[in-house]
Structure 1
Amino acid sequence: MIRVLVVDDQDLVRSGICRLLADAEQVEVVGDAASGEEAVQKARDLEPDVVLMDINMPGIGGLEATQKILQRQPGIQIIALTVYDGDPYTSRLLKIGASGYLTKGAHFDEMLRAIVKVNSGQKYISPEIAQKLALRPFQDDAGSPFETLSERELQISIMIAKGQRVPLIGEALFLSPKTVNSYRYRIFEKLGIEKSDVQLTHLALRHGLIDANEVN
Structure 2
Amino acid sequence: MKIMIVDDHPVVRQGIRLILGADAEIEVVAEAANAREAMEQARHQALDLIVLDLNLPDQNGFWVLKEVRRIHPDLPVLILSIQPEEHMAVRALKAGASGFLNKESAPEELVKAVRSVMRGKRYISPRLAEWLAVDISGHRESLPHERLSDREYQVLCLLASGKSISDIAATLHRSPNTISTYRTRILHKMGIETNAGLTHYALTHQLIK
**TM-score, structure 2 normalization:** 0.89
Q: Secondary structure at the match of 2:57?
A: coil
Q: Secondary structure at the match of 1:20?
A: helix
Equivalent residue number for residue 210 of structure 1:
207
| Contact 1:158/1:209 (8 A) holds in 2 | no
| Contact 2:66/2:96 (8 A) holds in 1 | yes
| 1:114-169 Cα distance to aligned partner (Å, 9 max, x none) | 11111011111122122111111335442122122121210121122233343443
Q: Secondary structure at the match of 1:124?
A: coil
- Where do 1:37-76 residues align within 5 Å? 37-76=36-75
Unaligned runs of 5+ in 1: none
Q: Which amino acid aligns with 2:101?
A: L
Equivalent residue number for residue 108 of structure 2:
109
1:175, distance to aligned residue in structure 2 (A): 4.1
Q: Distance in 2 between matches of 1:209 and 1:183?
A: 21
**Residues 85 and 130 of structure 1: CA distance in aligned 2, closer, same or farther (over 3 Å):** farther
| Contact 1:58/1:172 (8 A) holds in 2 | no
- Aligned sequence identity (%): 34
Which stretch of structure 1 is more off in the superposition, 145-154 or 24-33? 145-154
1:199 and 2:197 equivalent?
Answer: yes
1:106, distance to aligned residue in structure 2 (A): 1.4
| 1:28-61 Cα distance to aligned partner (Å, 9 max, x none) | 1110111223222212211211110111213332
| Contact 2:85/2:100 (8 A) holds in 1 | no
Q: Secondary structure at the match of 2:80?
A: strand
Unaligned runs of 5+ in 2: none
1:170, distance to aligned residue in structure 2 (A): 3.6
| Contact 2:86/2:131 (8 A) holds in 1 | no
Q: Secondary structure at the match of 1:188?
A: helix
| Contact 2:79/2:97 (8 A) holds in 1 | yes
Which stretch of structure 1 is more off in the superposition, 125-134 or 25-34? 125-134
1:91 and 2:90 equivalent?
Answer: yes
Which stretch of structure 1 is more off in the superposition, 172-181 or 25-34? 172-181
Which stretch of structure 1 is more off in the superposition, 55-64 or 197-206? 197-206
1:177, distance to aligned residue in structure 2 (A): 4.1
Q: Distance in 1 between matches of 2:166 and 2:86?
A: 28
Q: Distance in 2 between matches of 1:127 and 1:162?
A: 31
**TM-score, structure 1 normalization:** 0.86
